[in-house]
Amino acid sequence: DSVTDLLRGAIAGGHVAMVYQPIRDAVSGEIAGAEALMRLTGPNGESISPAVFIPIAERTGMIVELGRWAIRTACRELIVEDLVAMVSVNVSAVQLSTPSFALSVAAILSETDVAPHRLIIEVTEGLQIEGNPDILRSLRELRTLGVKIWLDDFGTGFAGLSCVREVAFDAVKIDRSFLQATETQRGAEMFRNIVGLVRNVGCQTVVEGIETSAQRQLSAELQVDLLQGYHLGKPMKADALHSLVASETVVS
């Protein structure tokens, strides 16, 4: 269909781009890194949602090439330019199931001369990592390279707890639905317990979907490590992130 055709020439045609959302230190508020998110523009300049084009890219296998392009672009635009300390990139099961995935990441790191610990691979809980030997092998290989691995959308699926038990994630992103539920006492108690659970298994805690100052304050009170959300910065092009970082840098 039309999205498939658009995707086919997307890299060469410049229809695909990366935007970056700030990830902030919960204590200092400083920009600690950014999450890279892919954007696709249609023939009339319209934005096509990742919820539409990512599944198509996965089904057609084009996600493998697009995914490599995403990692290379994020490394170049943010790390080579030294805009932020680290960048996270989302990857799909299709990418992780490709036997050469870690090798391709190693090649990008070497080609861009980026230190492995500055790249984070975000894997979503819905991936069904457990019992998937190809994915587990890729994760092991990435870990051996020194790349960081984060679990995304924690708490949305059924696999979350067993996932955290099986894989030593460097950090866990608690799904925004738990933050949104903190207006009730029951929801707030649950959020507190999830933060504690993640911390107690030795993972850094990341809260995503911060939309209000109250949510930011609550997360800070619970001594979460990192924060992300519209309240702390929307996804933006690399040049806008550059301006933001510059405007926040205190000249001494």
Residues near ligand G (CB under 6 A) are 21, 37-38, 50-51, 54, 67, 70, 90-92, 152-153, 176, 208-211, 229-230, 235
| Site residues (CB under 5 A) for Mn ion, limited to 145-164 | 152
209 binds, among Mn ion, ligand G, Na ion, none (CB under 5 to 8 A by kind): ligand G
232 binds, among Na ion, Mn ion, ligand G, none (CB under 5 to 8 A by kind): none
How many CA atoms lie less than 13 Å away from 55 in the CB half-sphere?
4
By CB under 5 A, is residue 153 in contact with Na ion? Answer: yes
By CB under 5 A, is residue 35 in contact with Na ion? Answer: no
23 binds, among Na ion, Mn ion, ligand G, none (CB under 5 to 8 A by kind): none
Stretch in the footprint of Na ion (CB under 5 A) among 7-15, 74-82, 145-153, 235-243: 145-153
Q: How far apart are CA 141 and CA 124, in angstroms?
A: 18
Let me know the angle formed at the C-alpha of 239 by 235 and 245, rounded to the nearest 5 degrees.
80
Ordered alpha helix ranges (H), the chain: 2-8, 10-13, 50-60, 63-74, 93-97, 101-112, 133-145, 160-166, 176-180, 185-200, 213-221, 238-248
Among 7, 16, 33, 90, binds Mn ion (CB under 5 A): 90
Please identify, using beta-carbon distances, which residue of 67 and 118 lies nearer to ligand G: 67
By CB under 5 A, is residue 125 in contact with Na ion? Answer: no
By CB under 5 A, is residue 125 in contact with Mn ion? Answer: no
- The region that residue 203 occupies, defined by phi over 0 for left and psi between -120 and 50 for alpha, beta otherwise, is beta
Q: How far apart are CA 216 and CA 22, in angstroms?
A: 14
Interface mask toward Mn ion for 26-65; x: CB under 5 A: ----------------------------------------
Q: How far apart are CA 184 and CA 187, in angstroms?
A: 5
Nearest CA among 28, 108, 82, 91 for reference residue 241:
82
Q: Quick one: how far is CA 185 from the chain centroid?
A: 29
> CB 5 → ligand G: shortest distance, Å?
20
Please identify, using beta-carbon distances, which residue of 90 and 92 lies nearer to Mn ion: 90
Amino acid letter for position 190: M
Please identify, using beta-carbon distances, which residue of 125 and 152 lies nearer to Mn ion: 152
Nearest CA among 171, 237, 251 for reference residue 22:
237
Query: How many positions of this chain bind Na ion (CB under 5 A)?
Result: 2
- Which residues in this chain contact Na ion in the complex, by CB under 5 A? 152-153
- Binding residues vs Mn ion (CB under 5 A): 90, 122, 152
